[in-house]
Structure 1
Amino acid sequence: MARSARARTGAAEGAAVRDTDGRTYAATTVALPSLQLTALQAAVAAAVSSGAEGLEAAAVVTASTEVDADSVAAVRDLTAGAPVLRADASGAVQETVVG
Structure 2
Amino acid sequence: MTSPQTLSPEDKKLLVLARATRTRIGASEGAAVRDLDGRTYAGATVDLPHLKVSAIGVCVAMAVASGSKGLEAVVLLTNGDLAEADQAALDDFGGAVVHVNP
TM-score class, shorter-chain normalisation, is 0.7 to 0.9
Picking from 74, 77, 80, the partner of 2:92 is 77
Q: Which runs of structure 2 are paired with 1:1-99 in the superposition (5 Å)?
A: 1-64=17-80, 66-79=81-94, 82-89=95-102
**1:34-87 deviations in whole A, cap 9, x for unaligned?**
2111100111001111111111011110111x21111111111112xx211122
Mapped partners of 1:15, 1:28: distance in 2: 6
More helix by share: 2
TM-score, length of structure 2 as denominator length: 0.79
By relative contact order (CA 8 Å, sep 6+), the higher-ranking structure is 2
- Residue correspondences, number: 86
Consecutive aligned runs of 4 or more in structure 1 exceeding 4 Å deviation: none
Counterpart contact for 1:15–1:28, Cα < 8 Å: yes
More strand by share: 1
Query: Alignment RMSD, CA only?
Result: 1.0
Query: % of aligned pairs identical?
Result: 47
